[in-house]
Structure 1
């Protein structure tokens, strides 16, 4: 199933004619927001994510979790996989619980997802401390293939691809946000590991030989370390491809 989704997205990218990539040199870090349509504290964080995307110097992704669905509204973008990723981060960070809205910064620390100032301060701090995006990652569509290029660095990391929808407008009819119409950007619909990096420059090529179209409009490539038990940890490189720009 995930292989088919990869092929379909690449087909859409290849046929779209307008594929934009964020410049790796300008990227300060990665912000992963764990959010829910059923959480009354989350809309301000969803708005912050939109501002981060607008800054142009952050890879910003939204993961809708499913553990608030019991409150009366089934989050239309939620998934068990997103919830499992948040709990995996909790294990990496030595936490016993999770919350929304939670922003994970570079896979290394967490903050209130609605605090734009604190998020930007943390991104700058990590960049200055050498805990930012230290390994160059770039991606480009060439014909019916996606070519991911990763530079040299220290250590080992997974090459992770997160597929997202550029924007969705949702009318919430029940629960804590009942009656609100909320715009959700960069909601992750699937995530998979497509390779392993061991410190040397490498290229990962993904084929796209089925030209059926997809509703997805983008993909983030994350070079992500793992904790000793295999949970996601520090992100040391990243880039994003989107169809037709942001907005």
Structure 2
């Protein structure tokens, strides 16, 4: 399915674009039963510097990550910059076809009609327009929560251009025979870009929690909550990499794209 490129997309009333859960009613009840933990809620933003309305959503995500909304639950924010707006005159320096593919997977899983920016996906289950603050907060408040994974992490620079991340711990919830992937994201905050062209021409755009690298630690299946899982991922580093601006997020994602737990880590200053 090729993306329909609609910059300031606003779903029509009654459209399934605001479908709040990919599961059926019975599945939703089951998810709520399982979602009785106290772990973080994973909030993903799909945006682009080439989309005129994305900077508003970026501001909401920055405030969310800082804790400005005083929510009663921890939040992990990840920003994925898609590349399908690059043709509009400004190539997003953080855009990637990999993130476009990730968004497309959500579009299909949530049975939406189209791809758009800015889009927020909460726990892989609910979605809304990213600059609609009240809707974002409502989806977060109603999102199922799971026990947070309890992983220990070790960082090492394998060479001057690669960050090696080794993780060992427990998922703290049962994984059935449908299986799940343990994903690890390396993100960066405090990014500032002057946009001389495109829909945001003349603006200075600030981006936080921008995913620079995403790798699969491993796939698991028929796993007990206390079973120890270990693995290592290697992240190629970029020019200007600064540990004080970066963080690491681990999350468990089912094959139906739902999130079943997440954990975040700070990077040491002495890497």
* Alignment TM class, shorter chain as reference: 0.7 to 0.9
Higher mean C-alpha displacement, 190-199 vs 93-102: 190-199
For residues 191-230 of structure 1, the C-alpha deviation after alignment (integer angstroms, 9 at most, x for no partner) is 22211233413333345899x9982622211111112xxx
Residues 146 and 59 (structure 1), Cα distance of their counterparts in 2 relative to 1, 3 Å cut:
same
Question: Per the alignment, do residues 181 and 142 of structure 1 end up closer, same or farther by CA in structure 2, a change over 3 Å counting?
Answer: same
Among 123, 143, 150, the alignment partner of 2:140 is 123
1:106 & 1:112 partners in 2: Cα distance? 15
State the partner residue of 1:22.
none
Q: Work out whether residues 149 and 169 of structure 2, in 8 Å CA contact, stay in contact via their aligned partners in 1.
A: yes
Q: How does 1:88-103 map to 2 (within 5 A)?
A: 88-103=105-120
- Asked if the contact 2:41/2:75 (under 8 Å) is kept, the reply is yes
Q: CA deviation at 1:139?
A: 2.9
Q: Secondary structure of 2:200's partner?
A: coil
Which one has a bigger Cα radius of gyration? 2
1:159 aligns with 2:182: yes
Q: CA RMSD in A?
A: 2.6
Structure 2 runs not aligned, ≥5 long: 1-36, 68-72, 157-165
CA contact (8 A) 1:219 1:241 kept: yes
Equivalent residue in structure 2 for 1:202, among 212, 223, 227: 227
Structure 1 residue aligned with 2:49: 37
Change in Cα spacing, 1:213 to 1:115, as seen in structure 2 (3 Å) is closer
State the partner residue of 2:265.
Answer: 241
Q: Give the corresponding residue for 1:17.
A: none
Normalising by structure 1, we get a TM-score of 0.76
Cα deviation for residue 146 of structure 1 reads 3.2
**3-state DSSP of counterpart to 1:219:** strand
Distance in 2, Cα, partners of 1:88 & 1:62: 16
Give secondary structure in 2 for the equivalent of 1:174. Answer: coil
Question: Contact 1:139/1:241 (CA < 8 Å) preserved in 2?
Answer: no
Higher relative contact order (CA closer than 8 Å, sequence separation 6+): 1
- Look up the SS of the partner of 1:236 in the other structure: strand
- What is the CA–CA distance in structure 1 between the aligned matches of 2:155 and 2:131, rounded to whole Å? 40
Q: How does 1:25-174 map to 2 (within 5 A)?
A: 27-55=39-67, 57-126=74-143, 131-132=144-145, 134-142=146-154, 144=156, 145-155=166-176, 156-174=179-197
Q: Which residue of 2 aligns with 1:224?
A: 253
TM-score of the superposed pair, with normalisation by structure 2: 0.70
Q: Does the CA-based 8 Å contact 1:28-1:123 persist in structure 2?
A: no
Alpha-carbon spacing, 1:171–1:180, altered in 2? closer, same or farther (3 Å): same
Q: Any unmatched runs of 5+ in structure 1?
A: 1-24, 228-232
Equivalent residues, number: 210
How big is each residue's C-alpha offset from its partner over 1:94-116, in whole Å with a ceiling of 9 and x where there is no partner?
Answer: 12311000001100121111122
